Structure 1
Amino acid sequence: MGTTKFFTVGTGPDMQSAFTAAHDLAVQRRWRRAPGRLATKTEAVLIEPEVYTYKAALRRAEELLNGFDPRIEDKWGPAGALEYSPEGDARSWLFFGYAPN
């Protein structure tokens, strides 16, 4: 079985709350035959405490994935997380990683 990269955003007061909300939504979508790659993950690991712009977070996530960062290279392991600053007051995270096909 192969792997596929995924990128999903989540918002919440902290990373765990954002992950739980994004994960629950991914599980719901998965059952409707829509992609739910985050649904295969049970946890997320904060990669860096820095707060990025959305585009910078995407670039950094791609770097980490292409470099096979050991914290996120396992398709059965945790998702990576980077916080980014969107417009408005909501705290947001980019969740990413490899998931089984």
Structure 2
Amino acid sequence: MRGNKYPNVSTVMEKPVFVQLQGMTCAYNFYPKKIKVSWLRDGEPVTSDVTATEELADGDWYYQIHSHLEYTPKSGEKISCVVEHASFQKPMVTTPDHS
């Protein structure tokens, strides 16, 4: 039986041609399969403009997931990604670098 394996989490901001930014979070190489990825805007849950894959098998007993948030940035606004997994004692919160 496999034990828990911490997800590797990467949060990046993609800059399309227009003003709208797209955030992307990837969690990969984690076990067990169950994971929750969500987004916060100024500490409040974001429920619109979010798309995500299901947990995908890596082929080596580990899994990955991709979550995307499309949004138009506002001055002073803080966007964060929250990853919840059995291997974490508390949720991991990441804030993308807008540079």
Structure with max Cα Rg: 2
The structure richer in strand per residue is 2
Q: Flag the structure with more relative contact order, 1 or 2, with Cα contacts below 8 A and sequence separation at least 6.
A: 1
Query: Fold conserved (TM > 0.5)?
Result: no
- How high is the TM-score relative to the length of structure 1? 0.34
Question: Which structure: greater helix fraction?
Answer: 1
**What TM-score results when the alignment is normalised by the length of structure 2?**
0.34
